[in-house]
Structure formats: structure tokens, C-alpha cells
Amino acid sequence: MSNQNISFYENVNRYFDQAAVYTNHPAALLEHVKQCNCTYRVEFPLRYDDGSIEIIYGWRVEHSHHKLPCKGGIRYALEVNEDEVQALAALMTYKCALVDVPFGGAKGGVKIDPRKYTPAQLERITRRYTHELIKKNFIGPAVDVPAPDYGTGEKEMAWIADTYLATHPSELNALGCVTGKPVAQGGIRGRREATGRGLFYALREACNQTDDMKSRGLSVGVAGKRCIIQGLGNVGSNFASIASKEGNIIITGIAEYEGGIFNGEGLDIDAVIKYRQENKSILNYPGAVSFANTGEVLEQECDVLVPAALENQITAENAPRIKAKVILEGANGPVTPDAEEILLQKGVLMIPDMYANAGGVIVSYFEWLKNLSHVRFGRLSQLAEEKSESKLLRAIEEATHYQFPEIERKYIVHGSDEYDLVVSGLEKTMIDAYMQILEIRAQKKLHNLRTAAYVSSIDKVATTYEQLGIFP
Ligand code: GLU
């Protein structure tokens, strides 16, 4: 699905330039913010059991060191190339700055199709790639902290952590060298669903803006919005399930690489996921129209389109046929600048990637803090909270002669555990960042949320450099 003829990094820089004119920083500083600080390319052999050897190619790009460590996922896909990793690293810088996560931006990629390798081969590739990063100091809790991305997950993060720990046995904070780990290996509850959950909060905030909804003929609030999703990976599937259960959003279409399905009445997302697992395809899902050409699904009638797969999915070619009134970017760079121009002219509200999919890195930040502090969030406070709520409840009961039913009592006195704290920290960060974007949009009289988001990020990164005394 990915369009290899379009330079993703150039596109990110076009978005940057469109916004930079609304800031007041010297040209040299803006150029410094824009460029990737370092690009590390690795190449290593993978030996097969029959003795044959395949050369594996990988990258790690650190886009900005204005804050340390650098942060960003590692992608396993055949489409991985230097331009893509640089673009994704740049987006990480802007994303972290926007949501006030104190990291520089980075990204990694290995050019493989992970489905073509056995778990043992994937483990060897991951451990060797980690060794390559260690050799050049491109990983570590204080320098550069990878995380999952397209084609990787908890399993790969556990191998990375284990490799790093084995080579740094006396480093106290070694577990903070990577995030998105399994909970049993220093991960945090709520990380797996974080990007999908953040995506839902982003949409909810956007749909709560009366003027933005009314001007597009949409009702205020997320409930009842009809939504098409591209990509049923970690981001798309968690978004779909949280959006339908917590927001009463109706999922009407799903596009995957094998094709897509559509039912204007709504799809049962859990049933679709189960069907796809059993049949290795979503095609012919009962009660929905199937499309062999996956792109067609994106062009069906809907309120919200959620591209949550790869970059360059909505281009100047298909943008004129998109009917959605809101585009929520679950993936990084799914809409090209040319396509965006067309969509904005049609009045589409664009909720940009650097904000919409920031939930992953926000919760990665919490995981890193947990690793550095060596304590689970809530461990010291949960019972104390419960006891004080209980006292308050008892005082109310005595004063009012009302006895709270057991179920209500339990709900009220529940002290926050790690998951509760992660979810509320994520929700608050998403709300605050949206308010910042809206403020800048109003201040600078912009029409596009993306430009406002970039202005916010560029200002923060440039100001940090200025404060460091590099650009007086
Ligand atoms: N890969 C995710 C992203 O693109 C998460 C990065 C992270 O948690 O560091 O935002």
C-alpha cells in the first residue's frame, strides 16, 4: 500500500516549512531543528540452519538531541528505508515536544518482512540489531530509548531489554533502555492499548468543539459518529474497540492489506478480529460488503476516516474521492501535503499524526519513569487513598443516615492503581495538548490543526536550543 515514489522526509519538512513562517526564530536555528542530527546505518548477517546467509539492513536515526534521551519506535517492514526512518524520527521530535514529553526524537527500522521469519530468527535479528546499537551508543536509558512500532511488539522489546541488560549488568537503570516491554519485564499496564486509546481521546476532543462540528454538518460529541479504519494492527484494533465501547462510535468499514469490508449499519469489531484470526483475511466477513481493492473502502461514506497503517496512503490521486469529514491520523504520515491541500479545500478537519497517535510515546514516558524510579505507580498511595475515601464515606453516612450500597461503596473508595493512573495521565495529556493546538490556531488565525501543532512543537524545540545557549 505504501507509495515508494514519495519522499516521506521531504513531506514532513514541507509541513514544517508551512508552519515555520508563523514562528519568529532565525533561519539557521529553524534549519537546525529540521535536520536529523545523526543517521546510523547497520548491516549484519543472518545465518540460516542450512548454512546460507542473508544480509539484514537496519537504521537508527536520532533527529534531535535538544532533550535526552531520544525516543522512538523500531519498525520491521520491507518498505523500511533511510528516508522513511528519518521522516519518522523527525515526527517523533515534534510529537514529543507537542505533548510535553521531555525527549528528543528518534526512530529505528529493519528492512524485513517479520512474517517471513521464525521466532528464533526474529530473536537473532533483534538481538544482533541491539548489539549494533550498543556498539555505537545508540541505545541506553539516558541516550536513546526504542519502543514498538509497525511490525514489532512486546516480544521484540523484551529481547532488546534482555540484550542490553546482559551487556550492562551493573547499570542500575538498564531496564529503561526500551519501552513497550511486557509487564513482567518492567513494562507498564496500559502501554499496549495506549496509542489506540490516545487516538480515541483525540477524536473526542475534536468532536467536542461545537464550531468545528457544526461547520461540517456534524453533531457535537463522538457518540454515533460513523468511522472507517485502515489497519487492524495494535493501533487500529485498540482504537476500534475503545471507540465503540467507551464512545458509542459506529465502525462501518475496515481496510487491511488483503482487502476491506463495509457495512453502513456498523460492524462488531470483536467479531471481525476473531473472524480475521480464524480465516487469515477479513474478506467475506458475513453481513458486510467485501472489497478486493482495499483503497475503495477508504472512499466510502463516513464521518471519520482513521488511516492507522502506513504513510502515504492518502495522496493527491485518491484525496478527491474521500468522503470523510474528519481524518484522524493513527499512522505516521498517512496523508501527503498535496492530498491535505485538497482535503482542506473540501473542508475536512485533519487531526494530525503528531498529536493523534502520541498516546504510545506518552505512556512510554510513564514506563521509562517507572523504570527509573523502580516502583510501580500507585504502590505507595493506593491503600492510603482507599482508607481516606472510606473515612469520608463513613462520615457522610453518619451525617445523612444513608447507607451506600456495597457496589457503590467499592467504586467510590477504589484507590488508583497503575492502570488507572496511566489512563488518567494519558487522557489529561491529550486534553491539554489539544487545548494548546486550539489556542495557537486561534492566536495565529490558522485553519489547519496540523500547522498549529507544528508551530507549537517548533517553538518548544527552538526555545530549548535558545535556552541551551546554542543559538543566542
Ligand atoms: N512507535 C510509536 C510512535 O510512533 C511509539 C514510540 C515510543 O513509544 O517511543 O509514536
Question: Given this model, what pLDDT does residue 1 score?
Answer: 40
Tell me the pLDDT tens digit for each residue of 326-341.
999 999 999 999 999 9
> Residues 360-397: pLDDT tens digits?
999 999 999 999 999 999 999 999 999 999 999 999 99
Using a 6 Å cutoff on CB, does residue 361 contact ligand 1?
A: yes
- pLDDT greater than 60 at residue 472: no
Give 276 Cα–ligand 1 centroid separation in angstroms: 26
Task: Provide the b/e sequence for 172-184 (b: ≥16 CB within 10 Å).
Answer: eebbbbbbbbebe
Distance 187 CA to ligand 1 centre (A): 14
- 107 among known catalytic residues: yes
Reported pTM? 0.97
Closest C-alpha to ligand 1, atom 9: 72
Binned at pLDDT 50, 70 and 90, residue 114 comes out as very high
Catalytic residue among 107, 111, 225, 460: 107
**What is residue 197's predicted lDDT score, i.e. its pLDDT?**
98
Confidence of residue 4 (pLDDT cuts 50, 70, 90): low
Taking 60 as the threshold, does the pLDDT of residue 23 lie above it? yes
Whether the CB of 311 sits within 6 Å of ligand 1: no
Q: Is the shortest distance between the CB of 149 and ligand 1 below 6 Å?
A: yes
User: What is the spatial distance between Cα 409 and Cα 416, in angstroms, rounded to a whole number?
Assistant: 15
Q: Which of 63, 80, 361 to mutate to test the pocket of ligand 1 (most atoms within 8 A of CB)?
A: 361
The residues near 363 (Cβ < 8 Å, ≥ 6 apart) are 188, 190, 191, 194, 198, 422, 425, 426
Best residue for ligand 1 mutational test, from 110, 178, 364 (most atoms within 8 Å of Cβ): 364
**Confidence at 41, pLDDT banded by 50, 70, 90:** very high
Find all residues with CB under 8 Å of 355, minimum gap 6, and list them: 95, 98, 99, 202, 433, 434, 437, 449, 453
Across residues 339-360, what is the average pLDDT? Answer: 98
Report whether 179 contacts 157 (CB < 8 A): yes
CB of 360 closer than 6 A to ligand 1?
Answer: yes
Distance from the CA of 230 to the center of ligand 1, in angstroms? 19
Q: Which atom of ligand 1 is closest in space to residue 358's alpha carbon?
A: 10
User: If pLDDT is split at 50, 70 and 90, which confidence band does 469 have?
Assistant: confident
Cα–Cα distance, 64 to 68 (Å, whole number): 9
Q: Is 364 in the pocket of ligand 1 (CB under 6 A)?
A: yes
Here the cell at position 189 is 499496564
Between the CA of 454 and the centroid of ligand 1 the distance, in Å, is 18
pLDDT band at residue 3 under the 50/70/90 scheme: low
Residue 361 CA to ligand 1 centre (angstroms): 5
Mean pLDDT of all residues in 201-226? 98
Query: 339: which 3 cell numbers?
Result: 492530498
